[in-house]
Structure 1
């Protein structure tokens, strides 16, 4: 009996060692949380303007999620945080459990206000050089929304949109869809593009669009010239966005305050870590057929 138990022990130990040796990465990382995405709804804002930080985690159960900044540390339970910065700075997201931790940084620039390492006109923190050097490589381009993949793509670039009477507000029925165009260029290569909903109310509405986040869902990968794998110096990304069947216009939602349409904005980053600094927005209203 003792001999059989001993053989069973050796067999079990051998399986464990084989699994560890064949899959060392899995053995080393299993159980550690991973931050897949950490973005700001608007990387450049006026002083006191609301910014929504949102993130997506993967991996094992996360014991704690914290956002650290000069203003202090906030311990969170959801996947978004509203801040109203008065100083430019960097927000650090930390996801942690007993197995380990992961962290990401996101810069938010307040117009006309700087801190060490953050250029006045926007961009990610840099290790040296002046603002002019950092600004030289900022992504530049255009953003707009349309009912047709062929356009025209409309935004508030020509001036503020103040109400539904403005013809630049794109009207989409529940269950319908619209398109967003992101056309940007950068000598350092375009590294990242995110499409964000940026309304300040109702609370919790804003965030990065994804394939499964109503009332707006991104359908498939963007088309056009939008392969970011090799850091292209120019992109034209076309997003198809579906509206939920039960969607209502934002003005009908509780806590909407004076919001009259859904407002979208794009965030573009380049290979040098700089961010686009153009506050161009697309407006969409959900209207019955």
Structure 2
């Protein structure tokens, strides 16, 4: 029998692991999946931030827990996957969101900063996806992986942005998403990416101060930046059975910036 739209988007009984989930885009996605019925495991580096975020989710009636882990460290990644499965069972949905940025002109960009961005933004995505798939998704022949990329991964930025490592890492996330979807489709695992545009956050505060909200908003056809709701629908689509025939795709959620910049 064909399911209703509400049934297709329903995540009751599912467990979602969200990295970088204590604030910003990760927490917004955690709320979206939790509001649809999923149990949520949050992860980031700082226990205090995680405790506060989990409390906010719980206050909204969401089953939420947390594990502090640095997704640039292989031992932390394995611990995170193991503790999630020990405490909450199999992982149905993995949201790879933990990330870092570094601003510097390409000619002066520190190599150690380049490595830091790459280790977290793409190597960490690969390692966590690998361990979750091998331990939980492949044995059950199903799962959803949602990678958070960026419209920065579609090309260059204005010269004043100076984020070559970030752009490169997010371009890698898009290709990683496509390659992983092609390999793991046979296991019933859907892999997709979201490419946010500019959303105010701690990570983007310096850019906001330097360039200005009005100028950044003016670059978008919708004339605004992203807000606390704008990723919810896309994340839920990719995480639920509503998107069960979508894999290897990326979707820009950017107010139309990529349309006018040619991304």
Higher Cα Rg: structure 1 or 2? Answer: 1
- Structure 1 and Structure 2 fold alike (TM over 0.5): no
TM-score normalised according to structure 2 size? 0.31
TM-score normalised according to structure 1 size? 0.29
